[in-house]
Amino acid sequence: MAKKSNHVVPSSSGWAVKKSGADRASKTFDTKERAVEYGRELSKHEKTELFIHKSNGMIQNRNSYGNDPNPPRDKRH
């Protein structure tokens, strides 16, 4: 089973937060900043990854809030 993640993506009404593989958005926002805030909190709560996309759809940034398969060297046990 593929790991679930959340995506901040452009939408017809501004910006949306969608789960990976979902057709419908979890929530939509007027600004990208508000969508990122919501997506970050959602991903922290769900312990998933957050992908932030540019307005052209390309991935701009990626953050892991769960069990990171490649944690920074100083965070490895």
Between CA 33 and CA 23 the distance in angstroms is: 22
Between CA 35 and CA 41 the distance in angstroms is: 10
Per the prediction, the chain carries an average pLDDT of 89
Is residue 4 pLDDT above 50, yes or no? yes
* Predicted pLDDT of residue 33: 98
Reported as a single tens digit per residue, the pLDDT across 56-68 is 999 999 998 876 6
Reported as a single tens digit per residue, the pLDDT across 10-34 is 999 999 999 999 999 999 999 999 9
Nearest to 8 by CA among 45, 50, 58, 47: 50
| Predicted TM-score (pTM) of this structure | 0.82
Query: Which pair of tokens denotes residue 22?
Result: 């979902």
